[in-house]
Chain A
Amino acid sequence: QKEVEQNSGPLSVPEGAIASLNCTYSDRGSQSFFWYRQYSGKSPELIMFIYSNGDKEDGRFTAQLNKASQYVSLLIRDSQPSDSATYLCAVNSGYSTLTFGKGTMLLVSP
């Protein structure tokens, strides 16, 4: 069983701080990694994807991948109250399917 683990949180950070969200995965052969954001009562929406070791930046978001440690993270700089949501880590688990973690709830306080 391929597993994706995330701390359920909530992770509480003040406005303007850096939020760090972490994810580990069990399948060493996984090649693609995705971060989705899900607001309460809404559907998941893609924030970022990363395929290669290292960092990938998009605006206030940075995804970090370390395949040797089977670890992927998402950093949110200058966190805003509108970033308060649940963040889902997803890992490619075979051809085009994804295995999702249970998500980490982020709370950004004004």
Chain B
Amino acid sequence: DAEITQSPRHKITETGRQVTLACHQTWNHNNMFWYRQDLGHGLRLIHYSYGVQDTNKGEVSDGYSVSRSNTEDLPLTLESAASSQTSVYFCASSDGGGGKETQYFGPGTRLLVL
């Protein structure tokens, strides 16, 4: 069955380290998204991609980067981890365009920055 996976599921890191969170989908979806979810803020969009070599900044992109070299993967990199980036990170994907597509979410990665 097609699915979307994230790794690692849990990560503890130190302030200033570079961290990469992986997202892999087998839906063959064009669109991929990264969100963070924090108490009191809900889901906020970090970066998104509509296809290979395409990346776009979301609402809270500072300190994060993504690259899309193939359809299946959109890794999220924290260039220099900060305690404010402690959060739960969700990857999602959807197909098509125009705004009526359903986004399917991965299981999430819990990141703790000490």
Instruction: Please name the residue on chain B nearest to A45 by beta carbon.
Output: B105
Contact B99 A43 (CB under 8 A): no
A42 to chain B minimum Cβ distance, whole angstroms, is: 8
Q: Contacts of B45 on A, CB cut-off 8 Å?
A: 97-99
Interface string of B75-108 (1 = CB under 8 A from A): 0000000000000001000101111111111111
Contact B41 A96 (CB under 8 A): no
Partner of B102, one of A46, A51, A88, A100: A46
Q: Contacts of A42 on B, CB cut-off 8 Å?
A: 107-108
Rounded to whole angstroms, the CA-CA distance of A100 and B4 in the bound complex is: 20
Instruction: Please name the residue on chain A nearest to B41 by beta carbon.
Output: A102
User: Does B31 make an interface contact (CB < 8 A)?
Assistant: yes
Partner of A96, one of B58, B90, B94: B94
Q: Given A43-B90, A43-B108, A97-B58, A88 and B100 touching (CB < 8 A)?
A: no
Interface string of B40-66 (1 = CB under 8 A from A): 111111001010000000100000000
Rounded to whole angstroms, the CA-CA distance of A96 and B102 in the bound complex is: 9
Identify which of B43, B45, B90 gathers the most chain A CB atoms within 10 Å of its CB: B43
Tell me the residues in window 1-59 of chain A with beta carbons closer than 8 Å to chain B beta carbons. 31-32, 34, 42-46, 49, 51
Instruction: Please name the residue on chain B nearest to A4 by beta carbon.
Output: B42
In the complex, 14 of the A-B residue pairs with CB atoms within 8 angstroms, ordered by the A residue number, are A31-B99, A34-B102, A34-B103, A43-B90, A43-B105, A44-B90, A90-B103, A96-B31, A96-B48, A96-B97, A97-B45, A98-B103, A100-B42, A101-B42
